[in-house]
Structure 1
Amino acid sequence: MTQQTIAIVGAGFSGTLLALHLMRQCSPDTRIVLIERNEHFGRGAAYSTGNSSHLLNVPAAKMSAFQARPSDFLDWLKTRSSEELGGLQPLATTFVPRAIFGRYISDLLETEMKSTLHCGQLELLRASVRDIAPRGGGLVLTLGDGEALQVDRAVLAVGNFPPSPPPVADSSFYDTDSYRSDPWAPDLLANLDPQAPLLLIGTGLTTVDTVVSLLDQEHRGPIIALSRRGLLPQNHLLGPVKTALPETEEFPTRLTSLARFLRDRSRRAREAGGSWQAVIDELRPLTTEIWQAMPREDRLRFLRHLRPWWDTHRHRISGPVAARIAEAQRTGQLRIQAGRIRTYAVTPTGDVDVTYRPRFKDHLETLSVGRVINCSGPESDFGRIRDPLVRRLLDQGMVRPDSLSLGLDITRTCALLGRDGGISRRLFAVGPVTKGAFWEMTAVPDIRQQAEYLAGQLAALVKPAAVAAQASDATWSI
């Protein structure tokens, strides 16, 4: 049998995890090429942060890279020295710095590559991919330097894209030095006057990270965070968060019924000595099934009206981080505003006058700040994403946006759909770009399940036909 090659475009968390599972599920003669244009393999933007105050939003016991080994990350932590962990105690309830989790993923990759079974199976390629096109029953990837890479199948693991700026009548401000478009850029806070007032667009997890970075940098000026609804992420509770409720109830899939159900269940949980946090968490294994069963009109209503409230309750922050944010609010340094930005004007002194309309108000108000940082969260509308590879694939018709503008259109087996709706047998996707089909595809537990499943599907495709036929009955157990 001719050697099969699978290319993974993107070596952030989702791409690296897929590579790990492919090595475990494919035959040793399957070649796997993991392509990354950035400095680190296996981390991505979230886990490349050098700030030890940027903590995971999930405790260590739930952060294993493997479903079948739920304590793997915790066990790995216990093998590290106190110096490596910065004095951190590796407990199940510990919220670990994200950089340490990034080292865990990199260590897994290095260990697997050195194993006798997989030696030489995985190739790490530092390059950008600017085009993917069909050729000779497979695909050819055109790299940034013009080189061509012939593969049998490819997986897009491109992760998250920087946020798009809010639409305003005159967008020329976004080309000035007073605006920062990428909240993860290394020079985000460079040359910043520590007394300067700042505007952060957005009030979600990225804003929380940016505020923490500013506090660590001893920024003393006012920090104003502005979003349409002004909602900050909720925090995790310390100690048990049981629901004390029976498990026999059905979860509705119509939006109104589901919202009513969750409110009622949360109330009953609190009355029984539990918490609403546990109610949200117990929904986690069913979220994808509920999303896929929910009528399309209800999914659209959820995205228009309820998504910000879901995000702030579902994607929570650790207690230590929540305490720092609360203290910054208490002292008045951090202010949370709800409204929509209307205009920007750079003054002769270099400050920026930002005009916005407060939520539920008819008048306009103005903020004078020294810098505007876009922390509004990753862009998922592929009609607005300017990434050269994505634009090329869209223009060629090899992929298409999903109908909800959450990512790319895929099947339930992660195969990409072309412009005419045809299902590709060569091109797949994993991670955040698949949110339209699966919704919850940003957190580690969700991505690891998807990566393991897709690895099994790809392993079946590259096996001899008789073996592949036996493996094709595998299903994704949510």
Structure 2
Amino acid sequence: MQKIAILGGGLAGVSVAMQLIKQADTALSLQIFDQTGQFGRGVAYQPRQVAHLLNVAAGKMSLDPALPADFLHWLQQQAQFAADEPAVLAQAYLPRAVFGDYVAQRWQESLALAVQKGLQVSLRKVKVTALDLTDQTAPRLQCEGDWQDFHQLVLACGNELPRHPAGFAELTNHPAYVHNPWSDAWLHKLKPDSQVVILGNGLTMVDTLLSLRAAGLKTPVLSVSPHGYGMLPHRHPGLQLNQFSQALPQQASLRQLLRLFNRARHQVRRLGVSAEPLIDALRPHTQRYWQQFSPTEKTLFMRRLRHLWGVARHRVPLHLHDQLQQLRLHGLLEVHAGKVLSVRPAGEQLALQINSRVHREMPAQTFDYHADLVLNCTGPEQDYRNLPGHLLQQAIATGALAAGPLGLGLAVDVASLRVKNAAGAVQPTVYAIGSLLRGELWESTALHEIRQQAQQIAAGILAH
């Protein structure tokens, strides 16, 4: 019986497990390790996330690549959506908790199928502390002091906590500093008149802001990020620019793509259309182009274009964007383009010196601000070499694994999704999925990629 371990019980790990159960025609033993015990839903799709919306339309959120309308069909079977027009429902941006209910049901159905097939599935709510890949045919995991051998291993670790901003490393235990914005543990500290600063201005900021308002915060919230780009809405759902798509070459440099994109952007703007459909047209090709880019081009993209791409790529539902604009108009959300120059404890508060522009056309100003809460929403750490004590950091340090291009995620053989060691050799029994592939593929965190990768990994495991 083949013994398979999956490290991570969130959406990526469970997607691999579901594909293994679906595809398996021989006996196997499957163990899924997740110290949170949140198997299936992970952190993102918990029932408490009613105010947090998917930023992808419901019609594109199927778990199974073979059943692209599965989530939509599931919604139509739910009493709260049974009367809705299917075409409208397919374009809806629903609460993430609803998607979590769908994942939970499909996961339970997979576990029932595993029982029918005689497959062994064990859910382990424990922390894996070390990884041994000395024997390439038998990866080993250490948890609770004991080592276990497996035939195959899938690394589905998901997102890590954000990196501490400069100056905050020595204040990590201060009661006003929140390192983990995805946890609700900090909400008990909140009062209606709390002074709150959010570091970052992306999707995590939006979710955190919604949580703050839902918890009763009445005061203005400051969002501080290097560029201060405003969130953009989904304006043209379903609009396809076929001429632009057909004009995209199989191979292109970063400079060539920018030239094509900017030319097309000027054309569609004359017609009152935003660049969103252009991004959607590029989206299916980004992995191929990223792999073609030279190290210099990738570095240039990360330094000059990453934030612009993130704003254009990661949009919010239109009605949510309207809420954000209303908060800004009423002075309840201040978006600052700048940085925190210094931070020091001031009793239960943190005293910050901030240099920023509230409006990009204004000169930068420096001001002091005393915050009851400072929430780190700068995005997950993607370089495991910066995470001392993490089992992947340890494996990279020993050479058993290697950091991915630009230090993003892990080095992986893209064709098989098997990881590489420091010498560049493929580890034949260890796979990676999702955010771990960011350096190799750039776009590798959305459900579309995860479900495809899960299907591919399961097929690779069962072929050996």
Structure 2 length normalisation: TM-score?
0.92
- Deviation for aligned residue 1:242: 3.3
Please, which moves more after superposition, 49-58 or 202-211? 49-58
- Deviation for aligned residue 1:87: 9.7
- Check the 8 A contact 2:133/2:140 in 1, yes or no: yes
Query: CA offsets per residue over residues 120-157 of structure 1, 9 Å max, x none?
Result: 343222222112224764122211x2233221010110
- Deviation for aligned residue 1:271: 3.9
- In the alignment, the residues of structure 2 paired with residue 325 and residue 112 of structure 1 have an alpha-carbon distance, to the nearest angstrom, of 39
Correspondences of 1:295-444 after superposition (within 5 Å)? 295-348=294-347, 350-358=348-356, 364-386=366-388, 388-412=390-414, 413-444=416-447
- In the alignment, the residues of structure 2 paired with residue 204 and residue 262 of structure 1 have an alpha-carbon distance, to the nearest angstrom, of 23
Amino acid corresponding to residue 183 of structure 1 in structure 2: P
Residues 390 and 335 of structure 1: is their aligned pair in 2 closer, same or farther, counting only changes over 3 Å?
Answer: same
- In the alignment, the residues of structure 1 paired with residue 364 and residue 202 of structure 2 have an alpha-carbon distance, to the nearest angstrom, of 25
Residues 87 and 202 of structure 1: is their aligned pair in 2 closer, same or farther, counting only changes over 3 Å?
Answer: farther
- Check the 8 A contact 2:402/2:411 in 1, yes or no: yes
Amino acid corresponding to residue 392 of structure 2 in structure 1: V
| 2:175 matches 1:172 | no
- Deviation for aligned residue 1:250: 2.6
- Deviation for aligned residue 1:276: 1.8
Correspondences of 1:11-410 after superposition (within 5 Å)? 11-48=9-46, 50-82=48-80, 91-115=89-113, 117-134=116-133, 137-143=137-143, 145-168=144-167, 171-237=169-235, 240-243=238-241, 245=243, 247-251=245-249, 253-271=252-270, 274-348=273-347, 350-358=348-356, 364-386=366-388, 388-410=390-412
- In the alignment, the residues of structure 2 paired with residue 287 and residue 156 of structure 1 have an alpha-carbon distance, to the nearest angstrom, of 23
- Deviation for aligned residue 1:93: 0.8
- In the alignment, the residues of structure 2 paired with residue 101 and residue 387 of structure 1 have an alpha-carbon distance, to the nearest angstrom, of 33
Please, which moves more after superposition, 331-340 or 366-375? 366-375
- Deviation for aligned residue 1:421: 2.2
Query: CA offsets per residue over residues 78-99 of structure 1, 9 Å max, x none?
Result: 11222xx699876101111111
- Check the 8 A contact 1:179/1:372 in 2, yes or no: yes
Amino acid corresponding to residue 333 of structure 2 in structure 1: L
Residues 89 and 339 of structure 1: is their aligned pair in 2 closer, same or farther, counting only changes over 3 Å?
Answer: farther
Q: Unmatched 5+ residue regions in structure 2? A: none
Tell me the secondary structure at the aligned position of residue 113 of structure 1.
helix
Residues 95 and 111 of structure 1: is their aligned pair in 2 closer, same or farther, counting only changes over 3 Å?
Answer: same
- In the alignment, the residues of structure 1 paired with residue 302 and residue 36 of structure 2 have an alpha-carbon distance, to the nearest angstrom, of 32
- Deviation for aligned residue 1:267: 2.6
Structure 1 length normalisation: TM-score?
0.89
Matched with 2:458 is: 455
Amino acid corresponding to residue 441 of structure 2 in structure 1: F
- Deviation for aligned residue 1:211: 0.6
- In the alignment, the residues of structure 2 paired with residue 456 and residue 393 of structure 1 have an alpha-carbon distance, to the nearest angstrom, of 26
- Check the 8 A contact 1:23/1:121 in 2, yes or no: no
Matched with 1:473 is: none
Tell me the secondary structure at the aligned position of residue 246 of structure 2.
coil
Aligned length: 454
Tell me the secondary structure at the aligned position of residue 258 of structure 2.
helix
Tell me the secondary structure at the aligned position of residue 236 of structure 1.
coil
Query: CA offsets per residue over residues 343-371 of structure 1, 9 Å max, x none?
Result: 112235x3322113326967633222221
Aligned residues with identical type, % of pairs = 28
- Deviation for aligned residue 1:274: 4.8
- In the alignment, the residues of structure 1 paired with residue 316 and residue 262 of structure 2 have an alpha-carbon distance, to the nearest angstrom, of 21
Tell me the secondary structure at the aligned position of residue 31 of structure 2.
strand
- Check the 8 A contact 1:28/1:117 in 2, yes or no: no
- Deviation for aligned residue 1:385: 1.8
- Check the 8 A contact 1:243/1:272 in 2, yes or no: no
Residues 211 and 357 of structure 1: is their aligned pair in 2 closer, same or farther, counting only changes over 3 Å?
Answer: same
- Check the 8 A contact 1:242/1:274 in 2, yes or no: no
Please, which moves more after superposition, 241-250 or 394-403? 241-250
Tell me the secondary structure at the aligned position of residue 141 of structure 1.
strand
- In the alignment, the residues of structure 1 paired with residue 449 and residue 24 of structure 2 have an alpha-carbon distance, to the nearest angstrom, of 22
- In the alignment, the residues of structure 2 paired with residue 139 and residue 73 of structure 1 have an alpha-carbon distance, to the nearest angstrom, of 35
Query: CA offsets per residue over residues 138-183 of structure 1, 9 Å max, x none?
Result: 122211x223322101011000001011112x74223211100000
- In the alignment, the residues of structure 1 paired with residue 187 and residue 262 of structure 2 have an alpha-carbon distance, to the nearest angstrom, of 41
Tell me the secondary structure at the aligned position of residue 45 of structure 1.
coil
Amino acid corresponding to residue 78 of structure 2 in structure 1: R
Matched with 1:474 is: none
- In the alignment, the residues of structure 2 paired with residue 387 and residue 452 of structure 1 have an alpha-carbon distance, to the nearest angstrom, of 31
Query: CA offsets per residue over residues 186-213 of structure 1, 9 Å max, x none?
Result: 2122121211221100000000000111
- In the alignment, the residues of structure 1 paired with residue 257 and residue 47 of structure 2 have an alpha-carbon distance, to the nearest angstrom, of 37
Please, which moves more after superposition, 30-39 or 436-445? 30-39
- Check the 8 A contact 1:32/1:121 in 2, yes or no: yes
Please, what is the CA RMSD of the aligned residues?
2.2
Tell me the secondary structure at the aligned position of residue 455 of structure 1.
helix
Amino acid corresponding to residue 150 of structure 2 in structure 1: V
Q: Unmatched 5+ residue regions in structure 1? A: 463-478
Correspondences of 1:461-476 after superposition (within 5 Å)? 462=464
Please, which moves more after superposition, 389-398 or 48-57? 389-398
- Check the 8 A contact 1:243/1:273 in 2, yes or no: no
- In the alignment, the residues of structure 2 paired with residue 247 and residue 392 of structure 1 have an alpha-carbon distance, to the nearest angstrom, of 43
- Check the 8 A contact 2:236/2:276 in 1, yes or no: no
